[in-house]
Chains A and B, each alone.
Chain A
């Protein structure tokens, strides 16, 4: 049996197995979400009656209630502003820092790298009360810029750690060519190295966006003014406030309000992600 035939023969079974496994996983992922969507149209009584029943009345009453009465419209806007600002700042600072650490050798560069790793490793709520006091001393407590700064600081190690291998893998020759041609360090970074690290940047930006959007512990501790609440806080307040008489219909609607925009943004954005990844490989 020739090697070629042997290899071809393995194509079909492998394809069937792959599709089966991935399809099963897709069902496992989608079912809970579809169920949440369905439940967001049901009354609490209907939700507890049966997990499969359809809502007797398809109305957006749960959504209206979540958006205005429960304040999710306001929380939504706050989240967009805070996460948007933090994301821009952390991507700029993080890529700069990762670039320096990955491509320059100076005393202490390894130490800084491991300090970043340590920052990534330490459990956040070990720091939460000292951080609370620090923010109070800086008069940044319960203020949106304060939360932005903390988001940036805590997302920074993740950003540096994930971008580091991307910058490290870039060929030295191109940076050296730029240097020989007289480009400044600034220009070399922004016009030569940063565009080349774009696949990494896009992935890390997506992960950071989602991580910050879903941030829970930091806003709970540092952003207690209800006017400044972000979505995850609204969610937890919503759930705890309702207590034993939880209005699960509105809660599921609030979940959809939180989840759908990010889901849509991800679906739109992932095309660009794929494009930039392909571009990076073709180069």
Chain B
């Protein structure tokens, strides 16, 4: 795409070749030292402290290792066969999948709506802008993200508390009946949604800020052109915003899904035992219990492998959907 432009510049062809990494690039000191520091150093750190332990964990999944003892046996896929018959684990997988579907959709819908109101929701005359005082809302919505997850869980478990909780207190004062001692986290029909709300509450502001930055990165001329063509706010959101910040949405979706598939800290703070009838039990909790309470690290590692596979499948689905609906991850390079 850029090469034809460059061939008109003397010496440009060689530079283009360097950037494309085709044969014929000169291994100058500049280039080699650049690649060494810019690529090899971060990559080495990443490989040693992140990828290598993951690899080891996969190996341990094939053993009956207890975690800290000296000897163990390699038992092949026996752990996975056991998992297949583990009803509680299957329940946890189902719970996690539900979390990974609902939390990202709700969070992204809310945060993208808010971000749109704040960036292009203002008056339709003059310069493109958001509604007034939008920075107040943005700053406030972001507050939960600065609070450690363990603390968020702790605060909300107090709010949901049956007797002295803020939620029941407020509902009762507002005149609603039957909330004097309602256990939000103890009833099967509410526990799951109560927990989801806490996670969504914590992340709407984060993704709103991210989407605001992404929308502001879209050249204002495109919005102005759409406006001149008569596009309304909804049309501008669907026809300009979403296609232009597609990468950011995809990233947000994957990151939220990973979070929902983990959800460990929140669940530990809100429902450490797995909730009523295990309706909020997650793979991570089951894994943690198996490893550190039951002392079956090999078996726990197998659960971790399943969790990783579920996560990768989730990411692959998001990538595929994005690709099918028209996103071209490499459009700039091709």
Contacts and interface: CB of A to CB of B under 8 A. Distances in A.
Interface of A: 3, 7-8, 10-11, 14-15, 18-19, 21-23, 25-26, 28-33, 35-36, 39, 47-52, 93-94, 96-97, 99-101, 103-107, 112, 115-131, 134, 149-150, 152-154, 156-158, 160-162, 165-166, 168-169, 172-173, 175-176, 179-180, 184-186, 189, 199-200, 203, 207, 210, 213-214, 216-217, 231-232, 235-236, 239, 248, 251, 255, 258-259, 262-263, 266-267, 270, 273-274, 277-278, 280-281
Nearest to B134: A22
Given A153-B49, A156-B46, A123 B164 contact: no
Q: Which among A49, A127, A281 has the highest number of chain B CB atoms within 10 Å? A: A127
A176 B19 CA distance: 9
Contact-residue size bin, chain B (C-beta under 8 Å from the other chain):
35 or more
Contacts of A33: 143, 147, 155
A185 B31 contact: yes
Nearest to B245: A165
Contact of B57 (A93, A129, A153, A157): A129
Nearest to A179: B15
Contact of A8 (B37, B125, B159, B205): B125
Contacts, number: 298
Given A185-B34, A266-B142, A105 B333 contact: yes
Contact of A104 (B21, B53, B150): B21
Nearest to A126: B304
Contact of A210 (B145, B169, B220): B145
B119 to A, nearest CB: 10
A123 B284 contact: yes
Given A134-B52, A189-B38, A125 B264 contact: yes
A32 B166 contact: yes
B143 A263 contact: yes
Counting from the closest, the 5 A-B pairs by CB-CB distance are: A126-B304, A153-B49, A127-B53, A130-B56, A130-B53
B42 A105 contact: no
Contact of B255 (A120, A160, A235): A120
Contacts of B169: 50-52
Nearest to B145: A210
Contact of A130 (B60, B140, B148): B60
A130 B50 CA distance: 10
A93 B217 contact: no
B131 A15 contact: yes
B2 A176 contact: yes
Interface in B296-322: 297, 301, 304-305, 307-308, 311-312, 315
Given A18-B131, A125-B288, A162-B251, A153 B308 contact: no
Interface in B46-96: 46, 48-54, 56-57, 60, 67
Given A33-B155, A154-B49, 16 more contacts: A11-B124, A19-B133, A28-B201, A33-B147, A93-B42, A101-B39, A105-B19, A121-B254, A121-B311, A121-B312, A123-B284, A127-B57, A129-B60, A130-B54, A150-B49, A281-B220
